[in-house]
């Protein structure tokens, strides 16, 4: 984790290595969002594909 906040990407997944230490933001310059569903209908169907433990 680092403190290089990207203020354009809010995120609450504290377990991700790209999450900011001190606030709910991502530290990457860019992320990829995808889905694990054939026909996504709600936000729970989407995933951050840039997540790393
Ligand atoms: S890579 Fe995705 S899950 Fe990880 S901190 Fe950034 S937005 Fe959140």
What burial class does residue 33 get, using C-beta atoms within 10 Å of its C-beta: 0-12 exposed, 13-18 middle, 19+ buried?
exposed
Taking the domains of the chain in order of start, what are their residue ranges?
A: 1-53
Q: For residue 49, which atom of ligand 1 is closest to its CA?
A: 2
Kindly give, in sequence order, each residue whose CB lies less than 8 Å from that of residue 5, ignoring residues fewer than 6 positions away: 20, 23, 25, 26, 27
Going by alpha carbons, the residue nearest to atom 5 of ligand 1 is 19
Asked if residue 1 has pLDDT above 70, the reply is no
Q: Report yes or no on whether pTM surpasses 0.85.
A: yes
DSSP conformation letters of 1-53? -BS---TT-B---TTSTTBBSSSSBB-SS---EEESSSS--SGGGEEETT---
Residue 3: which pLDDT band, with cuts at 50, 70 and 90? low
pLDDT of residue 11: 98
Q: What are the pocket residues of ligand 1 if the criterion is a CB atom closer than 6 Å to any ligand atom?
A: 9, 11, 13, 16, 18-19, 26, 28, 31, 48, 50-51
pLDDT of residue 53: 97
| Tokens standing for residue 17 | 């290595």
Report the separation in Å between the CA atom of 22 and the middle of ligand 1, taken as the mean of its atom positions: 14
């Amino acid at each position: 984790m680092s403190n290089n906040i990207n203020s354009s990407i809010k995120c609450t997944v504290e377990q991700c290595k790209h999450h900011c230490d001190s606030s709910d933001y991502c530290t990457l310059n860019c992320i990829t969002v995808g889905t694990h569903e054939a026909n996504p209908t709600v936000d729970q169907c989407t995933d951050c594909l840039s997540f790393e433990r």
